[in-house]
Structure 1
Amino acid sequence: MMVVDVHAHDAAHPELDSWYESLRSGKGQCCSDADRFALSDVDWETRDGHYRVRIAGEWWDVPDEAVITGPNRAGHAMAWPVYYWKLKRLIRVEIRCFMPGSMM
């Protein structure tokens, strides 16, 4: 099994870099272990009071402790996934942090 970690911010909005660096969930600092993944409105939802996100064509549950409840300065929903691979095949996605968007 292999875990891939990448660091990334919004290159179009460098003024948000320090905000991204400050984001934390109950699972820890968001940008320390996973790449930010912007989600379109059709790629996240709530079901039975919990969030789910669609990444790599599959739906993944967001752990409650991964949800960031502070203001979303970027506006769109974001997830910080950690990918688990085995023999070049994606076997699991763990959501380290998730920030809901406005769903407008």
Structure 2
Amino acid sequence: MAMLCLRMILVAAAMALIGAPADARDDGRFANSPLKGWFESLHSKGGGPCCADADGTALDDVDWDTSNGHYRVRLQGEWIQVPDDTVITEPNRVGRTIVWPYYVNGRALIRCFMPGSMT
């Protein structure tokens, strides 16, 4: 009986760990970056903060494109239209394309998007 209780406790603990959400956050590895303040100041046209470099995802040129003045990105194998009000239009100081996604019910949505040079 004690062994059964121990197993149930271990299974419950494992399930709690598996189900715990993982929030995006800066773990400190970019604390000394000269661009840290700039990244933290970025906002989309809609006014929402993009957060930090640590929250963004750098994209390869094959994972984003533009057509008729609108962007789209490929995240987790799926092409997603980038809403116009999430595009950052100030000069890109890092040169690489960055997208700041967030997920609702497993579906990727775009918080901010900064196009790169596409070279």
Range of TM-score over shorter length? 0.7 to 0.9
Structure 2, unpaired ranges of 5+ = 1-20
| 1:1-104 alignment runs, 5 A limit | 5-8=23-26, 11=30, 14-27=33-46, 28-31=48-51, 35-85=55-105, 90=106, 92-104=107-119
CA distance in 1 between counterparts of 2:80 and 2:29 reads 23
Query: Per the alignment, in what secondary structure is the counterpart of residue 19 of structure 1?
Result: helix
Q: Which runs of 4+ in 1 moved over 3 A?
A: 8-11
- Choose between structure 1 and 2: higher helix proportion: 2
**SS of residue in 2 equivalent to 1:18:** helix
Q: Structure 1: which 5+ runs fail to align?
A: none
Distance between the aligned counterparts of 2:29 and 2:60, measured in 1? 15
The verdict on how the C-alpha distance between 1:4 and 1:26 changes in structure 2, with shifts beyond 3 A counting, is farther
Quick one: higher RCO (CA 8 Å, sep 6+), 1 or 2? 1
Deviation of residue 42 (structure 1)?
0.5
Q: After superposition, give the CA deviation of every residue in 1:58-100 in whole Å (9 maximum; x if it has no partner).
A: 1111000000000101110000000123xxxx3x111010000
The two structures have a TM-score, normalised by structure 2, of 0.71
Rg larger for:
2
Question: Equivalents in 2 of 1:98, 1:82: separation in Å?
Answer: 12
Structure 1 length as normaliser, TM-score?
A: 0.80
Let me know the Cα RMSD of the aligned residues: 2.5
- Rate the CA distance shift 1:10–1:75 in 2: closer, same or farther, 3 A: farther
